[in-house]
């Protein structure tokens, strides 16, 4: 990372601080084993050595932060899963003071360090009960039906402990299915804190209740620490711990194909970059990567996305609640700038993806969202409740899932999500996993600057008004040429608002060389082929979807962009006996000619259009009659000779070489004859569907 980039990040932080706006930033980086063919590293959430790798990353983090506490909490649980997924957390103070000086978790120790006597949990329970009683708590010790040692404690001023309450005999939180609302400690909510102690695999294990106050939790840790002098190792599990602005809590969890790290939010971009730099280094150390290099040279992200969250120091400090008109303006601004939705996204975008735009659902939803925005505009005092209830119904996918939305307000002010719904947080999901920590920081700078611009009272052209892009959204803005042009417009808006980003940040945002498939000089013009955006449809077939835990989409269609830069109009292509003229557009370099080519790259086992064959290669002619130039283009999906590749690419340079060798451009000696225009049914203003030219 260059000093120039570090300076640019520091300048960004200083500019936001000078504006008086505080925007905390978090993320969910995801890492994969890009060389593995195991289901767990390609599509499954659990399996292989995923948990081992996550533990190794956690141990490296614990070494870097002495005095941090390892906690084994509760992960997600989806329909069809018998128990919650594993989740490992690292709990630490932001001021670097120790949280815990007691025995360490076995994950942070050499193998075999755990060695305790079979009755250690009983002695630990009795010692803990005595210390809690000395500290002024009412305590009751007993044995569980599962032979665990248990104690429940409460403030002496509280109602007496309900000794006959069946909840005192509940099983471990880590076993069995969770309720609809996730892990809920109804006892702790009433002031009764239940601890379960056992010996497992030669190690003392204590399952924690749900503490709701950081000070009380740290006090309990101090009591626990004081009785652990003779304990070699301790596993702390159970409910997630409380956090406040002075605490950072990172969790390592499984997700399909990846290990996901839920980062503690950072108060500024420099801290966000530093945390990511550590995480990427830890991932590399255990053989995990932020991206995939496919056999044919295509560069893909890890497979789990790289969502970014924005909020405040506390929920009450969130800029989205301090400036309640910010969220409506943000929705309109993203609607006006499709580059924010597609340019940095994973491959699966559109209404069937994981981050659909608010205008990619059904028609009436867009119309009603506009009504909601106009209604909010007329309200002088927007409460968090009105804001959330007015907009949340529209920030969802077409099935009504509010988690799957480009702008996710699930944790902003949600009354239906216990414990985590009212955090003042907005999650931005239309981002693939950043290749490097610097790229992630550049995206963070872009988002934070947009927030700072929209928080100002000065109106923008897009304020409170949604644009109906209709077919243009998935036609024009499928092409990198127009997405980059749109992003430059966003950057120009920031410059005009005196919130401009430094060149070192802009360079990372505008660098999409990994999309490039090849270039060639064609007379006075430069030809470039790039991977474009394709909007894969959901397979609405009951036999394939009814009993599945994940939704099936047809990803067999690809789209590439054919771009000619140079002052020489009149280019066209010929394919399957038809002529297709290249439309003219304006680019940063001047006038260009650009066309999107859609084709079927493979035949899926379950998919759409059973009569469509795949194209192992695209063969077409590019010509310009006024220049008397013609070229035969051939783009292969695989090795141009049909040979198997000798393993995956070892690095990005080799991946780029494989992409380039798949493209062949040969000058033709004779001008081909004129052909009829392609049927209008296959054309849109900026793309041609080659599947329909058969």
- CA 373 to chain CA centroid, Å, is 27
Task: Please compute the mean of the pLDDT values over residues 60-76 and round it to a whole number.
Answer: 94
In a domain, 194, yes or no: yes
pLDDT per residue as tens digits for the range 412-466: 999 888 778 899 999 999 999 999 999 999 999 999 999 999 999 888 877 889 9
Identify the residue with better confidence: 119 or 238: 238
* Surface-to-core class of residue 381, CB atoms within 10 Å of its CB (0-12 exposed, 13-18 middle, 19+ buried): exposed
Q: Which of 484, 507, 530 is the last residue of a domain?
A: 507
H or E element in which residue 203 lies: strand 203-208
In a domain, 27, yes or no: no
Task: Please compute the mean of the pLDDT values over residues 223-231 and round it to a whole number.
Answer: 91
pLDDT per residue as tens digits for the range 326-372: 999 999 999 999 999 999 999 889 888 889 998 997 778 889 999 99
Q: Which residue has the tokens 């980003």?
A: 501
Residue 671 and residue 623 in contact, taking contact as beta carbons nearer than 8 Å: yes
Report percent pLDDT > 90 for the chain.
77
In a domain, 520, yes or no: yes
Whether residue 499 sits in one domain with residue 560: no
pLDDT per residue as tens digits for the range 670-688: 999 999 999 999 999 999 9
> What is the end-to-end Cα distance of the chain in Å, rounded?
50
* Surface-to-core class of residue 442, CB atoms within 10 Å of its CB (0-12 exposed, 13-18 middle, 19+ buried): buried
Whether residue 281 sits in one domain with residue 203: no
In a domain, 37, yes or no: no
Residue 254 and residue 223 in contact, taking contact as beta carbons nearer than 8 Å: no
In a domain, 10, yes or no: no
Task: Please compute the mean of the pLDDT values over residues 523-549 and round it to a whole number.
Answer: 79
pLDDT per residue as tens digits for the range 537-547: 888 764 545 44
Task: Please compute the mean of the pLDDT values over residues 54-75 and round it to a whole number.
Answer: 95
Whether residue 494 sits in one domain with residue 616: no
Mean pLDDT of the chain: 92
Whether residue 469 sits in one domain with residue 393: yes
pLDDT at residue 586 in the model: 85
pLDDT at residue 417 in the model: 82
Q: Which residue has the tokens 């944790």?
A: 411
Number of structural domains in the chain = 3
pLDDT at residue 542 in the model: 46
Q: Is 400 a residue whose pLDDT tops 80?
A: no
Residue 208 and residue 176 in contact, taking contact as beta carbons nearer than 8 Å: no
**Residue 577 backbone class (left: φ over 0; alpha: ψ -120 to 50; beta: rest):** left
In a domain, 389, yes or no: yes
Task: Please compute the mean of the pLDDT values over residues 76-92 and round it to a whole number.
Answer: 88
pLDDT at residue 77 in the model: 83
Report the distance separating Cα 168 and Cα 152, nearest Å: 8
Residue 29 and residue 440 in contact, taking contact as beta carbons nearer than 8 Å: yes
Identify the residue with better confidence: 304 or 9: 9
**454 contact partners, CB below 8 Å, separation of at least 6:** 326, 329, 330, 333, 460
Whether residue 313 sits in one domain with residue 336: yes
CA 329-330-334 angle, to 5 degrees, is: 120
Q: Is 573 a residue whose pLDDT tops 70?
A: yes
**663 contact partners, CB below 8 Å, separation of at least 6:** 517, 518, 520, 529, 633, 634, 635, 636
H or E element in which residue 542 lies: helix 542-545
Residue 414 and residue 421 in contact, taking contact as beta carbons nearer than 8 Å: yes
Half-sphere exposure (Cβ direction) of 404: Cα atoms closer than 13 Å: 16
What's the Cα-to-Cα distance from 505 to each of 134, 446, 487, 495, rounded to whole Å? 57, 9, 13, 13
Q: Which of 507, 533, 552 is the last residue of a domain?
A: 507
| 437-455 vs 326-336: helix crossing angle, rounded to 10 | 120
Domain assignment of residue 538, given as a range:
512-692
User: For the ranges 7-11, 56-60, 346-350, which has the lowest average pLDDT?
Assistant: 346-350
Whether residue 578 sits in one domain with residue 471: no
Task: Please compute the mean of the pLDDT values over residues 467-489 and round it to a whole number.
Answer: 96
Whether residue 684 sits in one domain with residue 541: yes
pLDDT per residue as tens digits for the range 618-635: 999 999 999 999 999 999
Q: Is 528 a residue whose pLDDT tops 80?
A: yes
pLDDT at residue 541 in the model: 62
Report the distance separating Cα 670 and Cα 523, nearest Å: 15
Q: Which of 507, 530, 550 is the last residue of a domain?
A: 507
Whether residue 495 sits in one domain with residue 415: yes
Report the distance separating Cα 432 and Cα 420, nearest Å: 24
pLDDT at residue 113 in the model: 63
pLDDT at residue 351 in the model: 87
pLDDT at residue 201 in the model: 85
In a domain, 165, yes or no: yes
pLDDT at residue 399 in the model: 74
Identify the residue with better confidence: 396 or 237: 237
Task: Please compute the mean of the pLDDT values over residues 276-291 and round it to a whole number.
Answer: 97
Scanning 417-534, the segments in alpha helix (DSSP H) are 437-455, 480-496, 503-510
Whether residue 186 sits in one domain with residue 76: yes
Task: Please compute the mean of the pLDDT values over residues 401-415 and round it to a whole number.
Answer: 89
Whether residue 73 sits in one domain with residue 49: yes
What's the Cα-to-Cα distance from 131 to each of 53, 118, 150, 195, 223, rounded to whole Å? 37, 22, 15, 14, 7
Report the distance separating Cα 197 and Cα 143, nearest Å: 10
Whether residue 354 sits in one domain with residue 456: yes
pLDDT at residue 547 in the model: 45
Report the distance separating Cα 423 and Cα 105, nearest Å: 30
**166 contact partners, CB below 8 Å, separation of at least 6:** none
pLDDT at residue 616 in the model: 86
Whether residue 279 sits in one domain with residue 247: no
Q: Is 548 a residue whose pLDDT tops 60?
A: no
pLDDT band at 469 (very low <50, low <70, confident <90, very high): very high
In a domain, 324, yes or no: yes
């Amino acid at each position: 990372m260059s000093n120039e980039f570090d300076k640019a990040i520091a300048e960004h932080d200083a500019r936001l601080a000078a504006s008086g706006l505080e925007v905390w930033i978090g993320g969910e980086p995801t890492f994969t084993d890009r060389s593995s063919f195991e289901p767990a590293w390609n599509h499954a959430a659990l399996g292989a050595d995923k948990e081992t790798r996550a533990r190794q990353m956690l141990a490296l983090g614990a070494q870097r932060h002495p005095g941090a506490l390892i906690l084994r909490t509760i992960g997600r649980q989806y329909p069809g899963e018998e128990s919650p997924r594993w989740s490992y957390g690292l709990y630490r103070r932001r001021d670097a003071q120790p949280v815990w000086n007691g025995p360490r978790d076995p994950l942070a120790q050499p193998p075999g360090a755990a060695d305790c006597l079979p009755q250690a949990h009983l002695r630990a329970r009795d010692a803990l009960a005595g210390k809690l009683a000395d500290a002024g708590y009412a305590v009751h010790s007993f044995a569980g039906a599962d032979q665990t040692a248990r104690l429940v404690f409460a403030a002496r001023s509280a109602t007496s402990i309900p000794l006959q309450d069946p909840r005192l005999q509940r099983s471990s939180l880590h076993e069995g299915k969770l309720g609809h609302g996730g892990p809920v400690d109804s006892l702790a909510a009433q002031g009764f804190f239940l601890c379960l102690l056992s010996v497992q695999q030669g190690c003392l294990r204590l399952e924690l209740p749900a503490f709701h106050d950081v000070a009380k939790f740290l006090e309990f840790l101090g009591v626990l620490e004081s009785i652990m002098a003779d304990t070699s190792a301790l596993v702390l599990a159970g409910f997630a711990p409380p956090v406040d602005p002075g605490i950072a809590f990172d969790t390592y969890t499984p997700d399909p194909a990846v290990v996901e790290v839920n980062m503690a939010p950072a108060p500024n971009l420099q801290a966000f970059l530093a945390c990511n730099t550590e995480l990427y280094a830890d991932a590399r150390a255990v053989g995990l990567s932020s991206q995939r290099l496919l056999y044919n040279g295509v560069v893909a992200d890890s497979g789990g996305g790289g969502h970014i969250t924005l909020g405040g120091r506390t929920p009450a400090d969130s800029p989205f609640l301090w400036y309640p008109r910010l969220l409506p303006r943000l929705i309109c601004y993203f609607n006006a700038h499709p580059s924010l939705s597609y340019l940095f996204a994973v491959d699966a975008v559109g209404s069937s993806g994981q981050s659909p735009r608010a205008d990619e659902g059904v028609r009436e939803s867009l119309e009603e969202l506009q009504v909601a925005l106009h209604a909010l505009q007329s309200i002088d005092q927007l409460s968090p409740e009105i804001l959330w209830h007015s907009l949340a119904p529209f920030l969802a996918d077409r099935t009504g899932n509010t988690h799957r939305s480009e702008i996710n307000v699930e944790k902003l002010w949600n009354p239906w999500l216990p414990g985590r719904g009212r955090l003042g947080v907005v999650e931005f999901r239309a981002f693939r996993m950043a290749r490097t920590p610097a790229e992630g920081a550049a995206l963070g700078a872009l988002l934070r600057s947009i927030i700072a611009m929209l928080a100002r009272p000065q109106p923008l052209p897009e304020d409170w008004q949604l644009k109906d892009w209709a077919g243009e959204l998935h036609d024009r803005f499928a092409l990198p040429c127009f997405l980059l042009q749109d992003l430059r417009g966003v950057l120009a808006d920031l410059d005009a608002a005196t919130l401009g980003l430094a060149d070192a940040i802009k360079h990372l945002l505008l660098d999409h060389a990994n999309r490039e498939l090849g270039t060639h000089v064609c007379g006075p013009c430069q030809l470039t082929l790039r991977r474009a955006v394709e909007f894969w449809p959901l397979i609405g077939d009951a036999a394939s979807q009814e009993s599945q835990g994940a939704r099936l989409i047809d990803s067999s269609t690809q789209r590439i962009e054919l771009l000619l830069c140079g002052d020489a109009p009149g280019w066209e292509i010929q394919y399957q006996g038809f002529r297709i003229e290249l439309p003219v557009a304006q680019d940063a370099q001047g006038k260009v000619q650009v066309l999107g080519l859609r084709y079927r790259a493979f035949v899926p086992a379950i998919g759409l259009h059973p009569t469509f064959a795949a194209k192992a290669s695209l063969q077409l002619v590019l010509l310009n009659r006024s220049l008397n130039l013609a070229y035969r283009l051939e783009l292969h999906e695989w090795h141009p000779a049909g040979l198997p590749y000798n393993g995956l690419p070892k690095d990005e340079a080799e991946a780029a070489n494989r992409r380039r060798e798949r493209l062949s451009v040969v000058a033709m000696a004779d001008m081909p004859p004129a052909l009829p225009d392609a049927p209008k049914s296959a054309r849109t203003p900026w793309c041609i569907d080659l599947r329909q030219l058969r």
